[in-house]
Amino acid sequence: MAETTARIIDGTAIAAGITEAVRGATGTLKAAGVTPGLAVVLVGADPASEVYVRNKGKTAASLGFHSVQINRPATIGEAELLALVDELNRDPAIHGILVQMPLPQHIDAAKVIEAIRPEKDVDGFHPINVGRLATGSRGNALVPCTPAGSMILVRHALGPDIAGLRAVVIGRSNIVGKPVAQLLLQENCTVTIAHSRTRDLAAVVREADIVVAAVGRPRLVRGDWVKPGATVIDVGMNRIPAPEKGEGQTRLVGDVAFDEAAAVAGWITPVPKGVGPMTIAMLMANTVTAASRIAGLPEASF
Ligand code: GUN
């Protein structure tokens, strides 16, 4: 195996720092009579989603939030789910609403997202928040958690000034690819969004000072795609068979062939313990931000 030269970006440690800042801000809010409230809605029983949702709820509770998890069967009707969202919109104890994606086929996810009050949309998926991010009016936007967390990891590696760097985002999802591209653009990077139809993806990625891989394809990005010294942020969370751990066992790998890329990159995030913990930390930060704004209290910055 190639020798590791890249420095590892420790998402667990960086997320812990953010979580402590959120804990401080939560104390300030509580002293002013406001307990941040987060409602996480899980439709169906997808095992990966169950884990994510449980971790979100546990972290919220550990910070002293009012933390609610609402489970509904995969057979729930769209109207019933919309009614639940509306109830949460009107609940004064709830400042953040997250409906875990993906939703079952028979439910129009866009309709559900648009039903969430933008002020409570801690995922930052509502078109109002997407628009605020795209137009640069970040002051009252809620920014999607994984992209916001990814940017903190980029700044950890490269410092605050990344103007002029070439960034290649692989993946164009509404959850990660598009919003992280917006954030990189706002920092004055030259941004390319690559995707499954991109021609000669390897050559495109080789141009990048910053690579954000968010396609959900295990070990897609190979070592010889990475420009020497580049910063590699791996958003992928792919569960693959791991017969070496025993029959039926699995392991998590990213969208980047870590061992190969780490021999070439300047900085790289591992999977797990890279971007994953940042997503939850930023969700907590967004919930405190939403609670502060709804209560008309000063906001902390994270
Ligand atoms: N599914 C995968 N990532 C996310 C996320 O950040 N938010 C929601 N709501 N669903 C997801």
Average pLDDT over all residues of the chain:
97
Q: Is 258 a member of any domain?
A: yes
37 plus 73 within the same structural domain: yes
CATH of the domain at 46: 3.40.50.10860
The answer to whether the CB of 247 falls within 8 A of the CB of 202 is: no
2, pLDDT greater than 60: no
pTM strictly above 0.95: yes
Taking the CA of residue 60 as centre, how many other CA atoms within 13 Å lie in the half-sphere pointing to its CB?
Answer: 29
Instruction: Name the band, by pLDDT with cuts 50, 70 and 90, for residue 112.
Output: very high
234, pLDDT greater than 80: yes
123 carries an active-site annotation:
yes
| Residue of 203, 207, 265 lying closest to 234 (CA atoms) | 265
Instruction: Name the band, by pLDDT with cuts 50, 70 and 90, for residue 137.
Output: confident
**Ligand 1: centre distance to CA 7 (Å):** 28
Give the tokens for residue 150: 């990814």
Count of the separate structural domains present in the chain: 2
108 plus 174 within the same structural domain: no
58 carries an active-site annotation:
no
255 carries an active-site annotation:
no
Give the tokens for residue 173: 């999802």
38 plus 156 within the same structural domain: no
DSSP state of 289: H
- What's the average model confidence in pLDDT over 148-155? 98
**Ligand 1: centre distance to CA 81 (Å):** 17
Q: Is 255 in the pocket of ligand 1 (CB under 6 A)?
A: no
| Residue of 276, 274, 284 lying closest to 59 (CA atoms) | 284
165 plus 84 within the same structural domain: no
Q: Is 145 in the pocket of ligand 1 (CB under 6 A)?
A: yes
102 plus 190 within the same structural domain: no
Indicate the residue type of 48: A
Q: Omega of the bond prior to 102 within 30 degrees of 0, cis? A: yes
**Ligand 1: centre distance to CA 279 (Å):** 9
Look up tokens 């449980």; give the residue: 54
**Ligand 1: centre distance to CA 101 (Å):** 5
Q: How far is CA 298 from CA 27, 33, 162, 292, in A?
A: 13, 13, 29, 6
Q: Is 109 in the pocket of ligand 1 (CB under 6 A)?
A: no
Query: Model confidence over 174-226: pLDDT tens digits?
Result: 999 999 999 999 999 999 999 999 999 999 999 999 999 999 999 999 999 99
Neighbours of 281 (CB within 10 A): 27
CA 101 to ligand 1: nearest atom: 10
171 plus 257 within the same structural domain: yes
Q: Is 100 in the pocket of ligand 1 (CB under 6 A)?
A: yes
Write down the catalytic residue from 69, 120, 123, 178.
Answer: 123
CATH of the domain at 198: 3.40.50.720
Domain holding 222, by residue range, is 144-278
Q: Is 146 in the pocket of ligand 1 (CB under 6 A)?
A: yes
